[in-house]
């Protein structure tokens, strides 16, 4: 089985969040070996820069190293869980500093709620 590492840019049929369909697109691996050993990869969406505009979008600094041909962004708010066999190919890698910024963004969304917006009935 091919191994994928955090920071790898892969091409995968990425699922839409609003319908039962998917689109082949680049995505960033954000999960570690433990997740891969269980038979899964956690990926965040990569899309063209023209689709930018959501909070937390991050422009990709080194397109060539990432294996991308047009200005693109990482969208840490859109995460998918896929089986490694669904990966079409590895395209490249994000630079270590930029990859770490994406990982930190993803970590910031896990298991936390904003103190400014407490959920009703939860103390």
Residue 122 in this model has a pLDDT that exceeds 70: no
The fold of 8-108 is SH3 type barrels. (2.30.30)
Nearest to 70, CA basis, from 43, 47, 96: 47
Rg over CA atoms, the chain: 15
pLDDT digits (tens, 9 = 90+) for 23-58: 789 999 999 999 999 999 999 999 998 876 888 999
Query: What pLDDT does residue 2 have?
Result: 87
Q: Give the domain ranges of the chain.
A: 8-108
pLDDT digits (tens, 9 = 90+) for 55-104: 899 999 999 999 999 999 999 999 999 999 999 999 999 999 999 999 99
Query: What pLDDT does residue 123 have?
Result: 45
Cα 123 to Cα 119: distance, rounded to the nearest angstrom? 8
Q: What is the DSSP string of 55-120?
A: TT-EE-S-HHHHT-SS-EEEEEEEEEEE-GGG--EEEEE--HHHHHHHHHHHHHTSS---TTSPPT
Under a CB-based contact definition with an 8 Å cutoff, are residues 75 and 43 in contact?
no
Q: Is the pTM of this model over 0.75?
A: yes
Give strand pairing partners of 75. Answer: 45
């Amino acid at each position: 089985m091919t191994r994928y590492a955090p920071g790898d840019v892969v091409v995968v049929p990425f699922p839409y969040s609003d319908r039962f369909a998917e689109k082949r697109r680049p995505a960033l691996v954000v999960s570690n070996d433990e997740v891969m050993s269980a038979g899964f990869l956690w990926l965040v969406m990569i899309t063209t820069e023209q689709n930018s505009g959501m909070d937390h979008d991050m422009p990709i600094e080194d397109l060539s190293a990432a294996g991308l041909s047009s200005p693109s962004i990482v969208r840490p708010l859109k995460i998918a869980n896929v089986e490694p066999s669904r990966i079409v190919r590895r395209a490249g890698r994000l630079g270590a500093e930029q990859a770490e910024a994406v990982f930190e963004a993803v970590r910031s969304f896990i298991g936390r709620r904003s103190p400014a917006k407490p959920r009703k009935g939860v103390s």
